[in-house]
Amino acid sequence: MTGSHTVQASSDIPDENLGLSANGSSGRWEVSIDETISGPERWFVQVEGPSLWLSFEIPSPEIISKVIQFLAPPQTQRAENPGQLDLGEAKGTPVALVRDDEYKDRYFLVIGPNDAPIVRFAVVGEDRHSLAQALRQVEQDLLPSPGSSTPSGGSPEEIPVTSRSQPFVRRV
């Protein structure tokens, strides 16, 4: 039986709060980026796929564009594109995306050192395409809107409040 669930991102640092910066979904994949809204600037990604849920810290949101390029079909990849892209860390454990050297369209999400990984999740075929599509949506959320220096979602102060957006109160 399937059901929906809510995942609340949190930080290990007391008094450090997180807010959603961007999200995307395609097929069986969902990706979201959270950033700290208090304390030092830090970024986190949550990746949910058909057989995994993973949350880890990333160095910056710029990694999303690098992942999209890394996942590009083999004929569009640049020659200097390495076989591994380090994504970040999950509580000190490295997280990387590794291109398979046997099948050109297969990738592995590797948690742990590459020479002795804790786990490797295969991403291939339609899952690779869906993950890339979800990441493109995240990238669009992170890009500044035309004529603005803020991401396309804007800040809460920029979103007009109308009577329709007021909470519904039921009087008894």
Say if residue 81's pLDDT is above 70. no
| 149 within domain boundaries | no
Q: For residue 33, is it within any domain? A: yes
The pLDDT value recorded for residue 118 is 93
Read off the pLDDT band of 141 (50, 70, 90).
Answer: very high
DSSP state of 144: B
Tens-place pLDDT, residues 13-51: 555 688 999 999 999 999 999 999 988 899 999 999 998
Domain assignment present for 6: no
With b meaning 16 or more CB within 10 Å and e meaning fewer, what string describes 62-88? Answer: ebbeebbebbeeeeeeeeeeeeebbbb
Considering the entire predicted model, what is its pTM?
0.73
What would the mean pLDDT of 116-141 be, rounded to a whole number?
95
Residue 154, domain member (yes or no): no
DSSP annotation string for 96-121: EEEE-SSSTTEEEEEES-TTS-SEEE
Helices 126-142/63-70 angle, 10° precision: 150
pLDDT of residue 55: 95
| 150 found inside a domain | no
If one compares 74 and 167, the residue with the highest pLDDT of the two is 74
Residue 132 has pLDDT above 70, yes or no: yes
Number of domains in the chain: 1
Residue 118 resides in a domain: yes
DSSP 8-state assignment for residue 129 = H
Q: 4 in a domain, yes or no?
A: no
3-state SS string for 19-75:
EEEEEEEECCEEEEEEEECCCCCCEEEEEEECCEEEEEEECCCCHHHHHHHHCCCHH
Q: Which pLDDT score, from 0 to 100, does residue 13 have?
A: 57
Strands 18-26, 93-99: pairing kind? unpaired
Question: Residue 3 and residue 41: Cα distance in Å, rounded?
Answer: 33
Residue 105 located in a structural domain: yes
Q: Give the pLDDT of residue 74.
A: 65
Host domain of residue 74:
18-144
